[in-house]
A and B are shown apart, each in its own frame.
Chain A
């Protein structure tokens, strides 16, 4: 099993450009999450999806949109990138168990110039 995969690993954008970050999991998890990590900060939730076809805003949703394409895939889109969106982006999926642990992808380092 690959677990949670993310593409691309690195990306540089110019202000105003758009792009989509891709995430997929092969663990048959229902819930998936997008977080961002900024220097000196812990991870903050952008959006999450409790199941296929549903999405909800997290703590910092402004400037982002998401799509839960199917049970495996959850994408994050930046319609008009801004320098404030320079960050490392993590996708995670949640195992349904007593602890409901979240498993993370390797992250995408995004720089917006």
Chain B
């Protein structure tokens, strides 16, 4: 079964600085998708960024980018120019191709942004 590991339960960053959240996963599949979701105190799950496994190019969405290392099964999230509104729980998620299309989530990293 696929598993997703987020080894940093909590992280903190100064406003305007850069922070990287780690995620590793275990799978025997060659074709799959990876996601980062943000969960602010409102509890809403918000999709931040997504990556296809067969695309070598790292995904970027404004201040958010990923470092996808397929061989190492690593999918880290970099947040540049951190803002107070970035404070939230961040969840890494894996989805295999086909089947139920279910998401397998890591346990999350709580990000604090200090002014």
Could you list which residues of chain A lie within 8 angstroms of chain B, going by C-beta atoms? 31, 33, 35, 40-45, 48, 50, 56, 58-59, 88, 90, 92, 94, 98-104, 106-107, 109
Q: Are B47 and A44 neighbours in the complex by a CB distance under 8 Å?
A: no
Contact of A43 among B95, B101, B105 (CB under 8 A): B105
Q: Which residues of A contact B33 (CB under 8 A)?
A: 99-100
Residues on B with beta carbons closer than 8 Å to the beta carbon of A41: 107
Question: Which 3 A-B residue pairs are closest in the complex by CB-CB distance?
Answer: A42-B105, A104-B45, A107-B43
Nearest A residue to B37, CB-CB: A104
Name the contact of A94 in the complex, choosing from B45, B101, B108 (C-beta under 8 A): B101
Contact call B100/A50, Cβ cutoff below 8 A? yes
Question: A48 touching B107 by the CB < 8 A rule?
Answer: no
- CB-CB < 8 A to B43: which residues of A? 88, 106-107, 109
B102 contact from A45, A90, A98, Cβ within 8 A? A45
Instruction: Assess whether B52 is in contact with A100, with CB atoms less than 8 Å apart.
Output: no
Closest residue of chain A to B107 (Cβ to Cβ) is A42
Q: By CB atoms of chain A within 10 A, which of B33, B95, B103, B106 has the most?
A: B103
- Contact partners of A107 in chain B: CB under 8 A: 43-45
Contact of A100 with B101 in the complex, beta carbons under 8 Å: yes
Docked-complex contact B100 and A58, CB < 8 angstroms: yes
In the bound complex, how far is the Cα of B106 from the Cα of A106, in angstroms?
19
Q: Contact: B100 with A56, CB < 8 Å? A: yes
A31 and B101: CB pair below 8 A? yes
A-B contact pairs, 6 of them (CB 8 A): A43-B45, A48-B102, A59-B102, A99-B35, A100-B95, A100-B101
Say yes or no: is B56 at the interface (Cβ < 8 Å to chain A).
no
Chain B residues with CB below 8 A from A106, complex form = 42-44
List B contacts of A59 (CB < 8 A).
Answer: 102
